[in-house]
Each structure stands twice: as C-alpha cells, then as structure tokens.
Amino acid sequence: MKRLHIVVVYNAYVENVPELPEDRGGTADLRTQIRHVARTLRKIGHTVTVLPLSHDLFQFQRKLRRLNPDVVFNLYDDVVQGAGYEMRLAALVRMLGFPLTGSPALALGLTRSKGMSASLLAGAGVPVPPHTAILETVGEVDRHKWAFPIFVQPSQEHAGVGVDRTSVTHSKTALKLKVREILRNYNQPALAQRFLPGREFNVGIIGGNRLRVLPLAEVDYSALPADIPPIMSYAAKWIDTSPEYQNTRVSCPAEVDPELGKRISQVALHAFRAVGGRGYGRVDIRLDEFEQPYVLEVNCNPCLDEGMALARSAEKADISYPKLLQFIIRAALEPLPHDPEISMLPMRRTAASSASQHPNSNSNP
Ligand SMILES: Nc1ncnc2c1ncn2[C@@H]1O[C@H](COP(=O)(O)OP(=O)(O)O)[C@@H](O)[C@H]1O
Ligand SMILES: [Mg+2]
C-alpha cells in the first residue's frame, strides 16, 4: 500500500467525574491506545497526525482542511450521555470530502440507541431478544406481562455502562427499582428484554464492499461465583480488580459446531448490513435455551485495542494487528457502491453540472 497521510481522531472530551485508576475504560487508557494505533500506523510507513476533538467542530474543520489527509482514522468514542457526536463527526468528515474508516454517520446514529436499533433490526427480519420494551416511567412496568428473568439496562449507553449485578431481575419489584435507578442516574429510558440464558458470542466483521466474518469469540462465564449473573457488566469489561473481570474469559476461536457457527455468522452479517455498517464491526449475540441466536447489539466502530476483541479474532484468522489496521484503511478507500449520504459528498463541478445549475437552464420552477 502506498504511503498515506492519516489523521487519527479521538475524543478528548473528559467528563467532570473522578476516574478510578483501576478503570480500564478511563482517559489514561484511551490515550495509551491512541498512541499505540498511531505508532503502529507509522511503523508500516504512513505519516500520522493525531487530532483530538472535544466540542469545537469549527476549529476541527479548519485543522482537518489544513492537514488535508488521504484518510481519517476514526477512533472517536462518545462519552457524553445519549450523545450524537460520533455520527456528527463522521458526517462532517465525509462532507469535507475525506475518506473515513469504519461506519458512516447513518450507521453510527442508528446503533447509538439500543431500543431504536432493536426495533430497526426486528423490522429488517433480524432476531432480537423477545419482549423488548422501552420504559420511560416506572409505572409502565405494570403495563407489560413479563416472563422473568428480565434483563434491564440504560437504552442509550454502551461499553457496559449501567450494567451490573442487579441488571438481571427476577421480580416486578426488582425491575421497577432498576428502572427507577436508570431513569434517575442516566436520565434516559430503560431497555428491558427477556434474559437469554444461552451461550454468548462476539462476532467480528471486517471489510468494505465485501464483508468477512472473523473467527467467533465466546464469552465464558463458567468461573463466575454463583451469586454473580453471567453478563458482560461494566465491571467485567473494565474494572480489573473486580471478581467479574477476573472470572470472565473470552475464548477465541469459540468451540462451536459448524452448523451453529454458520447460523451465528449469518445473523451477525445480516444485522451489520441492516444498519449500514462498514469497515469493521462487532455483533454481540446470545442464544436462547433452544440454541437460537439473537442479536443483543451491533457495535459499529468497536474497540480496536491490540490483542482484544476484534483484533484478537483477526489474529486467529492470521491477520496481524498492523494488517488489520491496513485492512480497515483499505476499506475506507474503496469506492462506495452507492453513498447512503448522498448530499454529504461535495458536488464535483463539471462543465455539464455547472451548465445545468445555471438558473436559466432549468425550466422547472
Ligand atoms: N437480553 C439479554 N439476555 C441476556 N444477556 C443480555 C441481554 N442483553 C444484554 N445482555 C448481557 O449484557 C451485556 C451488555 O449488553 P449489550 O447490549 O451488549 O450492551 P453494551 O453496549 O454495554 O455492551 C451483554 O454482553 C450480555 O452479557
Ligand atoms: Mg455489547
């Protein structure tokens, strides 16, 4: 691949809350990851500029124009509650005419709210957990018939935020308590759905116009003490001193019979395509008691840390970390078969188009 000028964008906005040093989702870890991606890209011969973005999209535009990169590597990850910055940034970069890694604005926006994306996926024929409901008040709990256990979480967060030991509820009282807590602490509706008791898989997907499923990863909860529910909570994901973190393993490639593996991969691909995902993604899937796969979540632009999640699955397919980053850049540079954000590409001024844009050349009012 030829030498490119790559601008790596990340979220420099820090919330005014103290961070725990053992929290692997904190700012210090984020900075380390960004530096690592930049270093890897430089090692494979590219020129890299790291561009932090907090709120000032005007200044960001000016800087990006001045830098005039061949491609923008999008490592921007929202931390603002219910935020839509991710999609705005993606839209803006495309409007300015630069190729962008990962998913387009539309996919980022559609998958930002879990309730919204579950309903869209269901509409597209993708299986989502049964009895999915959005609860905007505690009183709404009484309007549904529940088959416990019910899983409940904030409807617009990600990365395990708001998911803990009490997220699996066994009674209406417990469900109401949890809904109240979510409404109060996260200032957003709660998403409740049937708790699926089966195996859990993370399906990595990479590619541009042709998508490819990476070896499946399975979350192994078998070492967890009996009083901790088998879920990927915030603690299991990020707090390395917690029993959740220490007793949850991910095995990749997952040991799964080929027929089931194929079904899981197809459901994941269907979901990623349905939301318009591109470049790289991770679909979280869980089985019910009859081994039927359901989509918990489509993660567009998921975590790209070396040795973790998507990167680990890629390694199992003999795609080293530098190769994975190259793959993602190449996908960003592929011409789109059609651009879902038509108006986001600057108009190319040709003789024909400027003639047709002349006010007198158009007889239609
Ligand atoms: N309906 C469900 N049944 C069983 N477990 C679930 C369900 N929904 C979510 N989970 C568990 O909660 C975790 C986090 O949920 P997910 O929707 O993937 O949100 P996040 O954005 O926090 O990863 C999942 O990895 C899974 O372990
Ligand atoms: Mg998830």
pLDDT digit string, tens, across residues 136-163: 999 999 999 999 999 999 998 888 889 9
Instruction: Take residue 240 and report the two structure tokens written for it.
Output: 């390395």
Half-sphere exposure for 255 (CA within 13 Å, toward CB): 1
Does 78 contact ligand 1 (Cβ within 6 A)?
Answer: no
Residue partners of 246: CB distance under 8 A and separation at least 6: 240
CB count within 10 Å of CB 59 equals 11
What are the CA-CA distances from residue 48 to residues 35, 54, 93, 238, 336 (Å)?
Answer: 10, 19, 17, 28, 24
What DSSP designation does 301 have? Answer: S
- Which ligand 1 atom sits nearest the alpha carbon of residue 132? 1
DSSP string, 15-75: -SS---TTBTTSHHHHHHHHHHHHHHHHHTT-EEEEEEESS-HHHHHHHHHHH--SEEEEE
Does 117 contact ligand 1 (Cβ within 6 A)?
Answer: no
Residue having the nearest C-alpha atom to atom 13 of ligand 1: 232
Residue partners of 318: CB distance under 8 A and separation at least 6: none
Residue having the nearest C-alpha atom to atom 25 of ligand 1: 232
The β-bridge partners of 190 are: 135, 154
**248 touches 72 (CB < 8 A):** no
End-to-end CA distance of the chain: 49
Closest-CA residue to 90 (of 279, 338, 303): 279
pLDDT digit string, tens, across residues 228-261: 999 999 999 989 899 999 999 999 999 999 999 9
Say whether pLDDT at 284 is over 80.
yes
Cα distance between residue 44 and residue 37, in whole Å: 11
Phi, psi dihedral angles at 60 (to 5 degrees): -60, -45
Domains of the chain: 5-103+340-358 (3.40.50.20), 129-194 (3.30.1490.20), 197-316 (3.30.470.20)
Q: Write down the mean pLDDT value for the chain.
A: 88
What are the CA-CA distances from residue 36 to residues 30, 46, 64, 261, 304 (Å)?
Answer: 10, 14, 21, 32, 10
What whole-number percentage of the chain has pLDDT above 90? 73
Instruction: Take residue 109 and report the two structure tokens written for it.
Output: 């926006």
- Which ligand 1 atom sits nearest the alpha carbon of residue 299? 21
- Which ligand 1 atom sits nearest the alpha carbon of residue 200? 27
Most confident of 107-111, 287-291, 351-355: 287-291
Residue 130 or residue 350, greater confidence: 130
**180 touches 136 (CB < 8 A):** no
Cα distance between residue 30 and residue 295, in whole Å: 27
Say whether pLDDT at 344 is over 50.
no
Cα distance between residue 85 and residue 54, in whole Å: 9
Out of 157, 239, 286, 298, mutate this one to test ligand 1's pocket (max ligand atoms within 8 Å of CB): namely 286
Does 286 contact ligand 1 (Cβ within 6 A)?
Answer: yes
Collect residues with CB below 5 Å from ion ligand 2.
284, 297
